[in-house]
Amino acid sequence: MMLVISFLLPILGGVVLGFRKMDDRQRRRFAIALLLVSDLFLVFALMSRSPLTLVRFAERVTLTFCLDNLGRVFAVTAACLYTAVCFYAFEYMQMEERPGIFFAFYFISFGAIEALAMSDNLITMYLCFELLTLSTVPLVLHELTKDAVAAGLKYLFYSMGGALMGLLAVFYVYFCSSGEAAFTYGGFLDPAKVSANRAAFLILIFVGIVGFGTKAGMYPMHGWLPTAHPIAPAPASSLLSGIVAKAGVICVIRLIYYCVGPELIRGTWVQTAWMCLAMLTVFMGSMMAFCEKIMKKRLAYSTISQISYIMLGLSFLSDEGLRGGLLHMMQHAMSKGCLFLVAGVFIYKLGVRNVDGLKAIGARMPVTMWCFTIASLSLIGIPPLGGFVSKWEIASAALGAGMGVFSVLAPVFLIISALLTAGYLLPVTVDAFFPRREEEEHAGKGKKPQPGQAEEAVAKKDAEPSRWMTVPMALLCCGTLFVGLFGTAVLAALGF
């Protein structure tokens, strides 16, 4: 019962926040109490190992929850990011209208993503996946401008379309299975049923990978990310990129590793196509980020690339690839979540959205810029941060997979993407701490600074945000360092 309480509590609390009018102080107290109690119940739920069936719709079709080791990794990662974002949002949402609505759907989505982590079969997973989509759409269209509504609808259509593609795979998996169809590492399909129509089986499994991969931003279903992220409030962008997009990754892991079984698709065209799409997305996302000038949009393209690192590791269909993917999932949640929060600071304190307006702000915002730098170094893959360890595991899995040319191509794409990542993140740090003199002189010769530019805004004494914003960002940086130092040991203790 502890499982159900741990995800129902934030959902019900979110409903209360949505319907009850509160002032800022009351809302903050209620949200902190609800968040801490929800985290406490999650800790108790982590100790539970018995499945709990809430509803039996039909034979072998149940709403069942059970927290296995994969669910524990995902649930704890989500809780860490959601907790940091909640405290950050207390100050950031002061510049937005309807903060009560934001926190309402924040908590509902928190419960939905924890329920997804605790799902014990494909039907439960699919229902929680859809609930997560419906509860995060309002976070995207929060501002209710024309662009925000368009972005929210685009996110909804992409997510629902991808989910329907995934549902086709869910139906076929149930057709090819026997028993209760509970998640089992290595798969549970009936080989005779699979062999009876293997061509249809491979097509539908690939459709499922692409469908659930839509939430993860895998090409060609990536279009919602660069539209939704720049328009959503920064705390929402942090959640969407840091953990909500990983919902698609978890669904793919459940489908391939816990239902189908890697052996049934290893060496088939499905694996080849999956690897090709993942490598293409890694490269394409990095290139688009390198060319983008709007900070949040640059980070959105970066998310497309970085999450496809995880998909690439999973496509090797090996324990090593799965371990590398999980490490990258954890470190990306911390580092990219932090980067979007930093981007929110630039908007909140400086009114700056374009990277060209961030020159010379390091002296006035040292904590913010150091958080940006550390998170960036992790994404690039600099030791001892989490990005280095996860990329090392993924590259090692590729070299040891015995896939011919793909064993070499995969590490090459990772290196190219890492160089591009350095190219679109590190110049922001360099320009912030070490602005070039010739640019300053050029700016003074007849060119007036644009309104809202950092050069004007940093003159204010309060350029650095309060601890409500800086502490969550610093803790997320510590999180990616923790993954780099202890992430492998944690996964090994959990059996990965």
What is the DSSP annotation of 105-122?
Answer: HHHHHHHHHHHHHTB-BH
Q: Is the peptide bond before 220 cis (omega within 30 degrees of 0)?
A: yes
| Per-residue model confidence (pLDDT) at position 136 | 94
Amino acid, res. 396: S
Query: How many other C-beta atoms are found inside a 10 Å radius of the C-beta of residue 481?
Result: 19
Residues in the chain with pLDDT values less than 50: 439-461
| Per-residue model confidence (pLDDT) at position 156 | 92
Instruction: Choose among 163, 156, 161, 129: nearest CA to 141.
Output: 156
CA-based torsion, 55, 59, 61, 62: positive or negative: positive
User: Strand, coil or helix: what is 65?
Assistant: strand
Give phi and psi for 121, each to the nearest 5: -155, 175
Instruction: Choose among 74, 87, 65, 75: nearest CA to 43.
Output: 75
Radius of gyration of the chain (CA): 22
294 - beta bridge partners? 354
CA-CA distance, 304 to 284, in Å (whole number)?
8
CA-CA distance, 340 to 334, in Å (whole number)?
10
Instruction: Choose among 210, 319, 327, 203: nearest CA to 274.
Output: 210
Segment (H or E) for 487: helix 467-493
Domain extents for the chain?
310-496
User: Strand, coil or helix: what is 7?
Assistant: helix
Instruction: Choose among 329, 337, 213, 339: nearest CA to 281.
Output: 213
CA-CA distance, 87 to 286, in Å (whole number)?
30
pTM of the model: 0.91
CA-CA distance, 478 to 334, in Å (whole number)?
8
CA angle 225, 230, 234 (to 5 degrees): 110
pLDDT digits (tens, 9 = 90+) for 88-130: 999 999 888 888 899 999 999 999 999 999 999 999 999 999 9
Query: How many other C-beta atoms are found inside a 10 Å radius of the C-beta of residue 133?
Result: 21
Amino acid, res. 214: T
Conformation bin of residue 96: beta by default, left when phi > 0, alpha when psi is -120 to 50: beta
